[in-house]
Structure 1
Amino acid sequence: MTIMPLGNDPDLTLRDLRLLQAMLSLGSLTRAAAALDTTQPTLSKALARLRAHFDDPLLVRDGQAMRPTPKGAALQAPLRDLLSAADSLAAPATLPFEPRASHRRFRLLLSDVGMIRFLPALTAHLADAGPRLQLEALPLDGSHMEARLASGDADLALGAYARAPGDLRRQLLYTDGYLAVVRSDHPRRTRLPRLADFRAARHILVTASDTGHTAHAMAQQAIETAIAPDHVLLRLPSFVAAAVAAADSDGVATLPANLAEAIGPRLGLVSFRPPLAMPPIAVAQYWHERYHRDAGHRWLRQACVTLFGRNARQ
């Protein structure tokens, strides 16, 4: 085994490396400081030490963002492995999670659909399991999903994320489909399930690729291929807002089936299967390797399987 020399900076610490991982992942000292609950001056000082140690800028400003240099980019994978190994070495013997005695706050990354689909059942489950347990929903930003899960800023991401980073752990919960919805007194409601009438209708199109719904891109393409451009009544990045718009117009909104069934009746909407070939929606939970063996984290993941897994009572 080769022992590498310490170099000319013996004060480089494991904490410095954690700060570096966050800065490289998030591309912002401000966001890294928020994720790690520290200050921007602290990160600036750490970055200066790290630059001196590695003899490289590591991060350089590009407009409003900071981009890793080639050296900084090359460090990301080794940093992830090193810090994961360090966490395993430092972790005490795993104790069972006792929800009734815990004050833990679980944080979930969710799209607008996920907040409606998952939060009611999870909130009730946590309230019953432990009176001091808390739940916090965080808006999903797909570009920072892995960094937020790696830093502990979020525990789980729930939903259909076709572009989820490959380094994350994933567990399929269920597969959903699509339903189209219109207001109950829509003048052409009974004819809309026919392809010709569906194509002739005005549509409320969800363009959700930038708001966490990356799996929706294929469905969006299927709808846009089937209808003429001038038959798009409204484009917007939210399924929930699309349902509300359908309730107040003659527009047709095509939504994930679970969402349509959950909020359609409350908004006076009726649903039908769209007469198009629509892709399935694989809904899963995602988490980072660092927290895979954490007892509380395992309890939360099992709760999601119990509540939302394929064998759960929907």
Structure 2
Amino acid sequence: MSQTPSPSGRIDIAALETLRLVHALGSFTAAAEKLDVNQSAVSYTIAKLRSYFQDPLFVREGGQQVATERCEHILQQVTEILQKLDDVAQPEKFDPAQSRSKVTIACNYYERILMIPKIVSELRRQAPGLEVEVVNALGDGHLRLLRREADVLIGPFARSQSGFHSRRLYTEHYACFMDPGHPMAGRALDVERYLQLNHLYINYGGSWKSAYVTELEAAGHTLRPTIAVPSPAGLASLLSGSNLVATMPIRLGKTMDGLVLNPCPFQGHFDLSVVWTAHKNASAVHRWLREVIVETCRG
């Protein structure tokens, strides 16, 4: 003889959904077919609920399962809760044109010069009421994501750890830039000549190391800068009329008027990505934000 389960301290949402379905269909068999389970599973679930609520819940009349008054009262209370859960489960709706949201983008100088103007222009075009804040990423921008100080991170920061997501935007590499009057302007640079130059080195701070430096050191060389600066800002003025050479991302260097580009023997290819954390992954506004970034920067 089967035993009725003893009362439990709580019931789950799936059991309440089964109760609602049996009530709507008037049949354990029909409910089982709808749920794609055995009828015994539905019977067992209703037995648990009967034990929990101390009521038969359904009685058989005219070939159907008819709800008791207690069952009807329970369903009146439960249906609203289940409907709210259904609403929560639906994809969040987001209308950029009506949005008054705020988004925060973490990045550094390169992205602020080459990417942010286009991104912000498109964000404003689609969502004129949107508030946009741009904050420094420095070398540890992923921490700003974890501390919820930024919604997305843009730059050479793709993360492989659990909890992070990223999409590649494009690949970049380094080149040398110098004044047109520099003795090596327009001339090929081999490794020996490159290392002998007077380097204006961009030290971004923290633990960050540029990809070309990593490549150079992996080849067994050491870069000895003549001058070190914390940012590419103002580099054109520092290089103008000097015998200094700056190694920087090629797209960035091309924005600085009056400089000559020389290929670098250490190109240090790297990817620019948009990065975000798992807790932002399903948000409609943040999905839209990421799509705008990807479409704008890949275009």
Superposition TM-score tier, normalisation by shorter sequence = 0.5 to 0.7
C-alpha distance in 1, partners of 2:149/2:223? 43
After superposition, the C-alpha distances for 1:156-196 in whole angstroms (9 at most, x for unaligned) are 00000267754311111111111111123324313353544
The structure 1 residue matched to 2:116, chosen from 113, 116, 119, is 119
Q: Compute the displacement of 1:303 (Å).
A: 0.8
Q: Give the match for residue 300 of structure 1.
A: 289
C-alpha distance in 2, partners of 1:228/1:159? 24
Q: Give the match for residue 269 of structure 1.
A: 259
Q: Give the match for residue 245 of structure 1.
A: 238
Q: 1:192 to 1:279 in 2, by over 3 A?
A: same
Give, as a single letter, the amino acid of the residue that structure 1 aligns with 2:267.
Answer: M
Q: Give the match for residue 274 of structure 2.
A: 285
The structure 1 residue matched to 2:197, chosen from 186, 194, 201, is 201
Partner of 2:186, secondary structure, is: helix
Q: Give the match for residue 130 of structure 1.
A: 127
List aligned pairs for 1:70-81, cutoff 5 A. Answer: none
Q: 1:200 to 1:144 in 2, by over 3 A?
A: closer
Q: Compute the displacement of 1:208 (Å).
A: 2.6
The alignment covers a number of residue pairs equal to: 214
List aligned pairs for 1:1-314, cutoff 5 A. Answer: 91=88, 93-143=90-140, 145-146=142-143, 148-161=144-157, 165-191=161-187, 193-208=189-204, 210=206, 214=208, 216=210, 218-223=211-216, 226=221, 229=224, 232-247=225-240, 249-261=242-254, 263-265=255-257, 268-274=258-264, 276-309=265-298, 312=299
After superposition, the C-alpha distances for 1:265-310 in whole angstroms (9 at most, x for unaligned) are 2xx1121211x2332111111101111111110011111111113x
C-alpha distance in 2, partners of 1:158/1:285? 5
C-alpha distance in 2, partners of 1:120/1:157? 15
Question: How much identity, in percent, do the aligned residues show?
Answer: 22
Q: 1:93 to 1:280 in 2, by over 3 A?
A: same
Q: TM-score, normalised by structure 1?
A: 0.59
C-alpha distance in 2, partners of 1:141/1:89? 42
Partner of 2:226, secondary structure, is: strand
Structure 1: runs of 5+ lacking an equivalent: 1-87
Q: Give the match for residue 71 of structure 1.
A: none
Q: 1:161 to 1:89 in 2, by over 3 A?
A: farther
Partner of 2:181, secondary structure, is: coil
Q: 1:234 to 1:164 in 2, by over 3 A?
A: farther
Q: 1:249 to 1:258 in 2, by over 3 A?
A: same
C-alpha distance in 2, partners of 1:279/1:196? 17
After superposition, the C-alpha distances for 1:249-279 in whole angstroms (9 at most, x for unaligned) are 3211011122112x222xx1121211x2332
**Preserved CA contact (<8 Å) 2:104 2:134:** yes
**Preserved CA contact (<8 Å) 2:139 2:205:** no
- RMSD (Å), alpha carbons: 3.0
Partner of 1:191, secondary structure, is: coil
